[in-house]
Chains A and B, each alone.
Chain A
Amino acid sequence: MRKIEARKITQAVTELVRQASFFLRSDVLSALRKSYAAEKNRRAKTMLKAILDNAAYARKQKLAICQDTGLPVVFIQLGQDVAVSGDLKAAINKGIEQGYKKYYLRDSIVRDPLNRERPGFSSCVMHTDIVKGNKIKLTLLPKGFGCENKSQLKMFKPTAGIEEIKDFIIKVVKDAGPDACPPYVIGVGIGGTADYAGFMAKKALLRKISSRNLKLEDDLLRQINKTGIGPMGLGGRNTALAVHVQSYPTHIAGLPVSVNISCHALRSASVTL
């Protein structure tokens, strides 16, 4: 067993908050630069320029890329040969809270979703995966809610065809329209259970933009970029930067499909301890 002190985890998470909030992911930046170069629509080009300028300004001025510093989602890959001395979850929450305070991020979390009293930093959402080895990998995805609000789940019949599924995914993007800060990255989870499909859709946002899982992704991206929604919804050919689809075995009676949309400010950072 390898021992890791909870204190080290707190420190690492605080640093992830800084990295994710101030520095746009390099793969997202490259994709945006490519979109800027390829975009023909004058207004869309102006919008993409503003997005790129914003990322540069945030980096230089140590400002949050977006004022919606998100609901922090933490993916924990815990090696089965690691023993954490102390409280792992409390250490992560403490790291988040310290980071959000230290870097002047926004108090966007209400403790009670019904009473909605003054927001602050309460628990983040955590997903834990037990893996082989003696390391722990932590990934922070601060998820903005303008785009999270556009998530959808549909439980298809098992006899549904691929075209029906594609139509649904494209419809989710059209429903989001100009509202959720396009160009988007579209995460899709197909299979598993309702909750697992949602988890896969969210996790798909962590994949590197240039990577490809299924051929379906290219077809979807092409069709989504034909909708004409464009950067910030003001028209153009760049409605999405990427479509990431993850799949998992499912039941003979069902076919869950979940779509999670990210705005262009797709922020995440990882560390392995």
Chain B
Amino acid sequence: MKKISTPLDLNTIKSLKAGQELLLSGTIYTARDQAHKRLTEAIKIGKALPVELKGSVIYYCGPTQTPKGKVIGSCGPTTSSRMDAFVPLLLAKGLKAMIGKGARSKEVKEAVKKHRGIYFVTYAGCGALLSDCVKKTKVVAYGDLGPEAILRLEVKDFPLIVAIDANGRSIYG
């Protein structure tokens, strides 16, 4: 299976096709509903963002608490479509890739194509298994949101399937 690493450069992104399975290593950031809302509000009022969006990978995930002796708890993907409305702006501001589960809106598909980004899905409902791919975590923003805080994750061989490629082709049609 093809292996890729962050930061994801344009050539790598362009080489990936919808439906392709691969393994990702490197740095990704968790963000779900409330973090998306806050990032968007900050962009709209011109406030500095707590994370660098340029070239970043966002993972739609809110893990459980971390059990003693473990790096992270169960940490699978949440439903991506709830984040759809926030995506065009984030892609315009430099976001490169998203990881989640399920289908996206037409607007997201178009924005992914326009900004040469990419949308991946991972094993949905397999949060225990995926925790094994996470080697390091750190809360980097919005700690007050608990499981909805932005975490920086260092991952190794995180399993992905390309769901929308840089040409806007989707596995969901």
Chain A interface (Cβ within 8 Å of chain B)?
Answer: 47, 50-51, 53-55, 57-58, 61-69, 103-108, 116, 118-120, 146, 149, 177-181, 232-234, 263-265
Contacts and interface: CB of A to CB of B under 8 A. Distances in A.
B137 interface: no
B128 A65 contact: yes
Given A47-B123, A179-B79, A181-B124, A67 B102 contact: no
Given A67-B76, A104-B73, A105-B64, A57 B148 contact: no
A51 B66 CA distance: 21
A67 B145 contact: no
Contacts, number: 135
Contacts of A61: 70, 128, 131
B55 interface: no
B101 A232 contact: yes
B129 A106 contact: no
Contact of A104 (B67, B78, B129): B67
Which of B61, B121, B127, B144 has the largest count of A CB atoms less than 10 A from its CB?
Answer: B127
A265 B125 contact: yes
Contacts of A54: 123, 125-129
12 contacts: A51-B125, A61-B70, A63-B127, A64-B127, A66-B128, A67-B74, A104-B73, A106-B63, A106-B147, A119-B148, A179-B102, A264-B125
Interface residues of B, number: 40
B50 interface: no
Given A116-B34, A149-B79, A63 B126 contact: no
A179 B128 CA distance: 19
- If over half of A's interface residues share one DSSP class (helix, strand or loop), that class is named, otherwise mixed; here it is loop
Nearest to B76: A67
A65 B74 contact: yes
Nearest to A232: B124
B65 interface: yes
A73 to B, nearest CB: 18
A59 to B, nearest CB: 9
Given A47-B123, A65-B74, A104-B64, A180 B128 contact: no
A232 B121 contact: yes
B39 interface: no
Contact of B73 (A47, A67, A178, A263): A67
Contacts of B171: 234
Which of B64, B159, B171, B172 has the largest count of A CB atoms less than 10 A from its CB?
Answer: B64
